[in-house]
Amino acid sequence: MPNTPSPGPSGPSGPSGRSGSAGSSGSPPAASPLTRAVLEIDEFVASLGWDQPARLFALVDTGRLRSREPTLADRLGLADDAAAGAFTPVEQDEVSGERPLDEFLATIAWPEAVAGCALTVERLMLPPSAEAAVPEGLGEDGLAEWVAAHPERQEVRMTVAVLRDGARESALRLRAKDSPSDVLTGSDLVPNLAEALAATFAE
């Protein structure tokens, strides 16, 4: 990915920008611009393999980027005939691992040029049948250890995106079914993370 100036978040604790197009997506032509952006990010991160840190992306209106920063758009390989309403994912500096994710996101405020944002994060998940068997009284660390040792655990990569206007989209990819054809999409798959991302646009 090229290292170029990017529309990064602002604020006293916000990370500075590190941009790059997330690559071409194999999303269906009928998909919404936000769904296409989410699948583009999912495909890009999938190309890096598993066991990746969380990654944060600004979503910038592609047409606006081409008109206002044509040199940057050319470096990112953006087509002149980009679909109306398309979004370009611009990766930001590495997400801090020194604090809980919700606390890190609470430090971010985006400039007006950013139309939305997206985050990818890997987690362990259990099927509903296993969740019912979680022992009571476990702290956060104890619960994480219990889930990590459970034979039915599944490693999943979640890509969640939100726009300033409230639109949301997400994609889930299981490590056990690591194929673009098995990626699940939907607007309400990871509601808590979507809420945390939407709060980064709160005034």
Q: H/E/C letters for each residue in the chain?
A: CCCCCCCCCECCCCCCECCCCCCCCCCCCCCCHHHHHHHHHHHHHHCCCCCCCCEEEEEEEHHHHHHHCHHHHHHCCCCCCCCCCCEEEEEECCCCCCCCHHHHHCCCECCCCCCEEEEEEEEEECCHHHHCCCCCCCCHHHHHHHHHHCCCCEEEEEEEEEECCCCEEEEEEEHHHCCHHHCEEECCCCHHHHHHHHHHHCC
Name the average pLDDT for the chain: 77
pLDDT tens figures, 164-173: 999 999 999 9
pLDDT tens figures, 137-175: 665 565 556 555 555 667 889 999 999 999 999 999 998
pLDDT tens figures, 80-110: 655 557 899 999 987 877 778 888 888 898 9
Residue with more model confidence, 15 or 32: 32
